Structure 1
Amino acid sequence: MGNKTRLNKELGLFDVFAISTGAMFSSGFFLLPGLASQYTGPSVFVAYLVAGIMIMPAMFSIAEISTALPRSGGAYFFLDRSLGPLMGTIGGLGTYFALMFKTAFAIIGIGAYASFFWEVPVKTIAIMATLFFMGLNLVGAKKTSGLQNIFVIFLLVVLGTFIVDGLYNIFFTDRVDIPGINDHFDPFFTDGFEGVIITSGFVFVSYLGLTQIASVAEEIKNPERNIPLGMLLSLIVTGLVYVLGVFVMVSVIEPSEFANDLAPAATAVKKLFNWLPGDLGAYLMTGAAMAAFASTGNAGLLSSSRYPFAMSRDTLFPAGFSKVNKMGTPYAAILLTTALILLFILILSEEGIAKLASTFQLFIFMLINLSVIVFRNSKIESYDPGYRSPFYPWMQIAGIIISFVLIIYMGWMAILFSAAIVLVAVLWYRYYARLKVKREGAIFHWFALLGKYQYPDIENEFMTILKEKGLRQGDPFDQTIINARIVNLERKINFEALVEEVSEVFSTEMHVDKDVLVKEFYATSPIEPALVIPGVSILYAKNDGVDHPSLQIIICKNGIRKPVSKGAISSEDYIKVFFFLVNSSEESRQQLRMLSRLIDIVERDEFLEEMLRITSHREMKEFLLHNERYITVQLLPGSVQGETIGKALKEVKYPTDVLVALIERGGETFPPHGNTILQENDVLTIIGEPRSIAQLFDRFVRLNKDKDKENGKALN
């Protein structure tokens, strides 16, 4: 994937939390509670709790797939790569329109609340807000999420104050204008268990923003940690605000009034916040409502615009929508999405469109839960999620059943609307996309296990994603490089004999079967850089008896003739640098991550020339480790680091998160231990966390430069 279609990774954990949380606090808190109480009465806050629990299977499934395949497009990309491009088209177009409908509705809410204070046309304000959000999105996701963070912080402060003040007045005061706790809660269930389930389906829309984060997964830093953690924190915080906030509303508003109230939070706050002067409390809650609708509209435009962008990259949409501008944002997709949202604002006014859109979202949740089952059963090794859904597959089966039941309760109009979207998507795929697409989903790998057709290119794509994700925390790549055996071959040898000798070394060191290793090294590898980078080859093997990764590097300046292949392409080349990597069979995905990191290294400019030029094994390993996590220090008399000469390594105080990995002494390189005595002219290779390495750089390199300058001035 070229840089012109790649998005910048700018979003951190709080950005994930803010986008997810901000997409939920709008109609769910400021509009729906009163209407929902018509179905179940004062137990409406329990329905919010049930709805939060019911969305958990979809959340866990989306978190798993997002950490395995962090790509823009969310549901579209997941369904396309699991169930095939037809289902991807249905999911992509359907979710795209569903998100735009809900975004348009939220932005109209901004105009509606603004009209409470100023005599302005509602839709005029909504159009201006949409154009403002478009400008932010064109500048970049970080700028968009920055505004989102402000919205969410303001919202949480106001709503948190509302809940604390409400609970205090309900339980700890004797105010006559707030009735006793039993007055509004009898009967608690007005329509029994069925009423709670119907209401849970009705307010289920309040949590759908939780899953919007999947559509911007490609732009999230450290997605394997930030996506599941951000979504879980968002669900906990949002669930607490919904349940406690609606409980306060039920407690302070008369039931007959509450059931028909379109602004229950504003009504409730009139009886609370009496410690603020005048109508300041009402102004604050109205401002929070506007911020909520604005955050939903902002997050909605951000996430929905990624659907045409992702579908365009896969040729399901015209090619122009996959381009990004200098800011790294998909400008064509943002402009199209903005135009459609403006159209919906002008022609739609019914709030029921949110319910229709949510019905299709439930259908998508069914398919996403199925996708996790498909990915797991496809046995694709490069499907490597950093987070795995708990209670698999029962969690996914429960999610499918929950979505199906809630769709039934949504009614026939919502079901027919979803069927219409499916029909449009099928026609789009049949008459536009089918001739342009030559891939199938992971479900074909599941079929392959039953002797059916398999689509191999999906493994290559997943490997590309794995390579972009990089190593996982705890992967022993650096240690494997440090301990690697490097052999400079001067004698002539053929490829077969080289494999035999390398396998013999591994077999002796690790007590594993040599013939098994030879067979593994000969196997056709999907990771073979030799066709792209002549002169370099990576071979790997797995064995049950291996307890830690091990690497051998063979340097042969004259080259060894070796057949190379990748897919249907094959040729022969003279290989001058070989990497042989051995891992445990139980760590096959770790091996793929380490191999992907090796490929990143060998793809550096002039890699082969540098490897052949370097003669020191220490320098060669440093070249392979080269990043912000290491520094080289030579112990010279008179220098800052020279003060450690003659000391045991364990006596030297370095930061706790760094390690002296290698020492070069007299032309030989070895890994030291605590009792190793440091000697003059030793060259130390230190690896560790970037912050501590930067401190050592300041201490050893910059201090020495300053010292040299001072000595120079003294001599002058």
Structure 2
Amino acid sequence: VYGLGTYVMVGVLGSELLATGANGKPLLTPVATTAQHIAGDAGKIIMTIAAVLAFFSVANAGILSASRYPLAMSRDRLIPPMFRDLKGGTPVAAICLTVALTVLCLVCFDPLKIAKLASAFQLFLFALGCLAVVIMRESRIESYDPGFRSPLYPWTQIIGMIGPLWLITMLGIWSILFIFGLVALGGAWYFCYAKGKVSNPGGAILHLFARLGERRSDGLERELRGILSEKGLRADDPFDIVVAQACVIDDEEADYEQIVHLAVDHITDQADVDRDLLLQHFLQSDRGVTPVSNGVALPHFRLHDLQRPILVMARALHGVNIAGNADDPEDSAVFAIFFLVSPDNDSGQHLRILANIAGQADTDTFISEWLAASNAQELKGIFMRTGNCITFRLKPGDKTAEWIDRAIKDIQLPDDCLIAAIHRRDSMIVPHGNTVLDENDRVTVIGESPGLKQLREQFEQGQDRPGFYAAEKGS
């Protein structure tokens, strides 16, 4: 669009008029002047009104996006904490600061010169952003899981660093001095105010040093895991399937070591993995356990020979203590433990599933709901609240009987639905096309709402809901 607009303006006005204008100075209103040449004064007025309206929307978007700078800096403790406070999900203080500084600059300084300095600032930020991409990539942090990876790395980033710096020199000496002044002011602010407050000094650079035998930053990994939780799952992440196929341990008397042995038994039943390696990893609390919040722990591991993620949920109604989890045994009582093992060839998916479990478990109401659940299906339903899962038992004498003694490949499911798990007596079966369903199997189907609604109507119509369960109601 910009290229087409420039082509039209050059074609109508000519490069000479755009460069010198009518009075020997560069033309500052090329769009309005082009409209005047094409449609007369009416065209100029219409284009001017459109430009003013567009300016309001751009200014509003710019202020709201620019307010994320003080918000992010406050979260990193580089500026006072008031700027990270949210009211109704809105960083009010950060927005007010941004608006105040914008108005101050427009009132007190020449707008044309401010535009030049602002351009230099944006170019400098772009160069720093390209440098940050290089550092993050080279740090090899597992928690770094971007949704998009730029092509031609690192040449794209190298050009992105050199190009803006060259353009800044073309803007003149004041722009160059402005950038040096910003760097000096930022350095002085860091050493005078922020150095003793930041929780993650060094960041990804320390991970780059770690590859050379130096220190690393655990704080950055925690921050990136938080970002993963906020970003949520990707469309192809099998979170619903992993939860639906999860085994559940619900033992009031077992201690943590016994729960670990039961969890490892479930995992080795589903995959050919080294049992001793899993036990060693999960029983070393400083390696495998990730505390999320009070009463929740997430032991996790990635294995080379694993084909799919496997989740085991464990509930301890009276709480268990994990050695080394806290100085005070009462503070280390854990009521919910989620053992997650995943293939080691997709660390990003492993971390997204882990972050999604952590995000849902890290709420004020989770533990009370977890302890109040009456069965395994309700425990799983806590993580599947969106209505994208149903579970029903195959019983002779009702409409579910039509699936008994049939292979899954021969069953016509609604679009966007699939059988995710089969619970048969005391075991969980991972379904395949040739899997034959038996009487009293408890079948979990996941999918989109229209398809699940069709299944509900198919099995509920004319029945008194025999053996039928919605994920959010349990089984």
- Cα deviation for residue 444 of structure 1 reads 1.6
Equivalent of 2:174, from 410, 413, 418? 413
| Kept after mapping to 2: 8 A contact 1:618/1:669 | no
**CA gap 1:697/1:316 in 2 versus in 1, 3 angstroms:** farther
- Cα deviation for residue 353 of structure 1 reads 2.4
**CA gap 1:530/1:473 in 2 versus in 1, 3 angstroms:** closer
CA distance in 2, matches of 1:309, 1:561: 37
Equivalent of 1:582, from 329, 341, 345? 341
CA distance in 1, matches of 2:276, 2:111: 71
Tell me the TM-score normalised to structure 1 length.
Answer: 0.55
Q: Which residue does 1:657 correspond to in 2? A: 416
**CA gap 1:586/1:677 in 2 versus in 1, 3 angstroms:** closer
**CA gap 1:374/1:342 in 2 versus in 1, 3 angstroms:** same
**CA gap 1:703/1:470 in 2 versus in 1, 3 angstroms:** farther
In terms of mean alpha carbon deviation, does 601-610 or 290-299 score higher?
601-610
SS of residue matched to 2:221: helix
Map 1:416-565 to 2 at 5 A: 416-440=177-201, 441-487=203-249, 495=257, 499=260, 502-503=263-264, 506-507=267-268, 509-523=270-284, 524-525=286-287, 528-529=290-291, 532-533=294-295, 536-554=296-314, 562-565=322-325
- Cα deviation for residue 657 of structure 1 reads 0.5
Give a deviation string over 1:340-396, Cα, whole Å, max 9, x none. Answer: 322223223341321222123222222211111111222221111121122222221
How many pairs does the alignment contain? 449
**CA gap 1:268/1:661 in 2 versus in 1, 3 angstroms:** same
Report the identity percentage: 38
Decide which structure has greater helix share.
1
Equivalent of 2:9, from 244, 249, 273? 249
SS of residue matched to 1:625: coil
SS of residue matched to 1:371: helix
Q: Which residue does 1:272 correspond to in 2? A: 38
**CA gap 1:423/1:703 in 2 versus in 1, 3 angstroms:** farther
SS of residue matched to 1:436: coil
Task: Provide the alpha-carbon RMSD of the alignment.
Answer: 3.7
- Cα deviation for residue 590 of structure 1 reads 1.8
CA distance in 2, matches of 1:375, 1:590: 18
CA distance in 2, matches of 1:350, 1:520: 62
Give a deviation string over 1:98-142, Cα, whole Å, max 9, x none. Answer: xxxxxxxxxxxxxxxxxxxxxxxxxxxxxxxxxxxxxxxxxxxxx
Residue ranges of structure 2 left out of the alignment (5+ in a row): 22-26, 465-475
| Kept after mapping to 1: 8 A contact 2:297/2:334 | yes
Q: Which residue does 2:470 correspond to in 1? A: none
Give a deviation string over 1:178-224, Cα, whole Å, max 9, x none. Answer: xxxxxxxxxxxxxxxxxxxxxxxxxxxxxxxxxxxxxxxxxxxxxxx
| Kept after mapping to 2: 8 A contact 1:258/1:264 | yes
CA distance in 2, matches of 1:426, 1:318: 17
SS of residue matched to 1:606: helix
- Cα deviation for residue 508 of structure 1 reads 6.6
**CA gap 1:516/1:293 in 2 versus in 1, 3 angstroms:** same
**CA gap 1:256/1:490 in 2 versus in 1, 3 angstroms:** closer
CA distance in 1, matches of 2:256, 2:106: 71
| Kept after mapping to 2: 8 A contact 1:646/1:678 | no
Residue ranges of structure 1 left out of the alignment (5+ in a row): 1-240, 706-716
CA distance in 1, matches of 2:389, 2:216: 43
Q: Which letter maps to 1:469?
A: K
Q: Which residue does 1:312 correspond to in 2? A: 74
Equivalent of 1:393, from 145, 148, 154? 154
Tell me the TM-score normalised to structure 2 length.
Answer: 0.80
**CA gap 1:582/1:680 in 2 versus in 1, 3 angstroms:** closer
- Cα deviation for residue 333 of structure 1 reads 2.4
- Cα deviation for residue 417 of structure 1 reads 1.6
- Cα deviation for residue 656 of structure 1 reads 0.9
Give a deviation string over 1:126-180, Cα, whole Å, max 9, x none. Answer: xxxxxxxxxxxxxxxxxxxxxxxxxxxxxxxxxxxxxxxxxxxxxxxxxxxxxxx
CA distance in 1, matches of 2:399, 2:269: 41
In terms of mean alpha carbon deviation, does 683-692 or 381-390 score higher?
683-692
Q: Which letter maps to 2:31?
A: A
**CA gap 1:595/1:348 in 2 versus in 1, 3 angstroms:** same
- Cα deviation for residue 597 of structure 1 reads 2.5
